[in-house]
Amino acid sequence: MNCVNHPDVDAPYQCHRCQSAICVDCETKTNGRSICPTCRAHIRQRTAERYEAETRNVNYGGGLFAGVVTAAAGAFLWSQLAVWIDSRLQVGAAVLGGAVGYAVMLGAGEKRGHSLQQIASMTALVGAIFAHLLIFLRTRGVAYAFPEYLVSLSVLDWLFLVLGVACAYWIPHPRSLA
Ligand SMILES: [Zn+2]
Ligand SMILES: [Zn+2]
């Protein structure tokens, strides 16, 4: 079998998408599968169109608003629950981060993109720190100063905080670039 693009050249590969026989020079891998140049161009075109649709006409104000409301409500609920069951309930940071990520994405008009990722992760970070502050104030009292509160956060607290911020950052990431 010879290459679909080079009739004189032997074709040891077959395109996974269109089944054409392709030579060593024409073959490239996409997700570990052999793809011909024509199909590669098709896939690139489709990816570019999907990215365009995902990231065009973003409602940044709506995204920010939805994120802040979700972060505030989430921080309040998390702190209430944490004080009630007498635990820091660290996993709240991950749940809050995921919720904020989704809220920002939906609020922006089901859009994704780098700026939305930044808005979501920053909002989730502030929300999680706010929740810990609420828990601290409820359990230790207002008399304790802010630095004491920051020192009171354990490694586990920070670990889940980072996880929450990562969730918020990942959710509005363009799927076309995944
Ligand atoms: Zn092909
Ligand atoms: Zn070829």
- Residues around the ion ligand 1 (C-beta < 5 A): 15, 17-18, 20, 36, 39
pTM of the model: 0.81
User: Which ligand has its closest atom nearest to the C-alpha of 15?
Assistant: 1
| Distance (Å) from CA 116 to ligand 1 centroid | 35
Q: Which two tokens stand for residue 20?
A: 């054409």
| Distance (Å) from CA 82 to ligand 1 centroid | 56
Q: How far apart are CA 99 and CA 75, in angstroms?
A: 11
| Distance (Å) from CA 22 to ligand 2 centroid | 5
| Distance (Å) from CA 20 to ligand 1 centroid | 6
Q: Which two tokens stand for residue 65?
A: 């608003």
| Distance (Å) from CA 37 to ligand 2 centroid | 9
> pLDDT 10s per residue in the chain (178 long)?
899 999 999 999 999 999 999 999 999 998 899 999 999 999 999 999 999 999 999 999 999 999 999 999 999 999 999 999 988 899 999 999 999 999 999 999 999 999 999 999 999 999 999 998 888 888 876 666 666 777 778 899 999 999 999 999 999 999 988 7
C-beta separation of 167 from 111 below 8 A: no
Q: CA nearest 120: which of 101, 93, 107, 103? A: 101
User: Which ligand has its closest atom nearest to the C-alpha of 25?
Assistant: 2
Tell me the CB-side half-sphere exposure of residue 31, using CA atoms within 13 A. Answer: 6
